[in-house]
Chain A
Amino acid sequence: QSVLTQPPSVSAAPGQKVTISCSGSSSNIGDNYVSWYQQLPGTAPKLLIYENNKRPSGIPDRFSGSKSGTSATLGITGLQTGDEADYYCGTWDSRLSAWMFGGGTRLTVL
């Protein structure tokens, strides 16, 4: 069981918007930046969002991130079939001195 809690799955139609939540505690999300990773089938994870809401070069602005208190959210607008992937949140836990990943959320674009 992960310290960071994500919904196992979300789904939406092409063109629609979806949000993925990541819930933690004061020692991890509440104390540190959150990052998000996209893992397309059969590939390595890729950094999608860093420092809560920043996008690396090459990541479209359809992807956004936010953080409030001990929770973070990934938003994806204008869904495309190519967005079907597993999405993970991640952050450092200051109390445990350990990196944490959420359990992952599988996005299905219907």
Chain B
Amino acid sequence: QLQLQESGPGLVKPSETLSLTCTVSGDSINSGNYYWVWIRQPPGKGLEWIGSLFYTGNTYYNTSLKSRATMSVDTSRNQFSLKLNSVTAADTAVYYCARQATVIAGNWCDPWGQGTLLTVSS
């Protein structure tokens, strides 16, 4: 059974860089037909897509993040990561990682990790 687990610092200071890792278990991150995605949810608000990453390194990003986001994959550890620089209080959110089927494969996100709360505060 495929499972995803986010890990991160919990608290980051304004202007610093946020770093999160998603560990995939139960299947290889090299599986075809799937992207690996980061999604966040500010407190009391809706879901916001951050970006999608293929195991080859091909990426798509939410342009609203203004190039602050960088995603990478470590196939040897079956993990993928997110870095978000120059964070502000507006980046405070629960961050989820998930598997995203490609458009050809059905275009859905499942499963999701349990989420990790990231607070930006001095």
Q: List the interface of chain A (C-beta within 8 A of B).
A: 2, 32-35, 37, 43-47, 50-51, 56, 86, 88, 90-92, 94, 96-104
How would you classify the secondary structure of chain B's contact residues: helix, strand, loop or mixed? Answer: strand
Interface contacts (Cβ under 8 Å), in number, total: 70
Most chain-B CB neighbours within 10 Å: which of A43, A50, A86, A91? A50
A45 partner residues in chain B, CB cutoff 8 A: 47, 96, 109, 112
Q: How far does the Cβ of B103 sit from chain A's closest Cβ, in whole Å? A: 5
Q: How far is the CA of A12 from the CA of B39 in the complex (A)?
A: 30
Number of interface residues of B (CB under 8 A): 24
Q: Cβ of B60 and Cβ of A98 under 8 Å apart? A: yes
Q: List the interface of chain B (C-beta within 8 A of A).
A: 37, 39, 46-49, 52, 60, 62-63, 96, 100-101, 103, 106-115
Q: How far is the CA of A31 from the CA of B39 in the complex (A)?
A: 22
Q: How far does the Cβ of A24 sit from chain B's closest Cβ, in whole Å? A: 13
Q: How far does the Cβ of A54 sit from chain B's closest Cβ, in whole Å? A: 8
A104 partner residues in chain B, CB cutoff 8 A: 46-47
Q: Cβ of B110 and Cβ of A98 under 8 Å apart? A: no
Q: Can you give 22 A-B contacts (C-beta < 8 A)? A: A2-B46, A32-B103, A32-B107, A35-B108, A44-B96, A44-B114, A45-B96, A46-B110, A51-B106, A86-B46, A88-B46, A88-B47, A91-B107, A97-B60, A99-B49, A99-B52, A99-B100, A100-B49, A101-B39, A101-B48, A104-B46, A104-B47
Among B63, B108, B114, point to the contact of A33 (Cβ < 8 A).
Answer: B108
Q: Cβ of B109 and Cβ of A98 under 8 Å apart? A: no
Q: How far does the Cβ of B44 sit from chain A's closest Cβ, in whole Å? A: 11
Q: Cβ of B62 and Cβ of A98 under 8 Å apart? A: yes
Among A33, A37, A94, A101, point to the contact of B49 (Cβ < 8 A).
Answer: A101
Q: Cβ of A47 and Cβ of B110 under 8 Å apart? A: yes
A33 partner residues in chain B, CB cutoff 8 A: 103, 106-108
Q: How far does the Cβ of B37 sit from chain A's closest Cβ, in whole Å? A: 7
Q: Cβ of B115 and Cβ of A99 under 8 Å apart? A: no
B39 partner residues in chain A, CB cutoff 8 A: 101
B100 partner residues in chain A, CB cutoff 8 A: 99
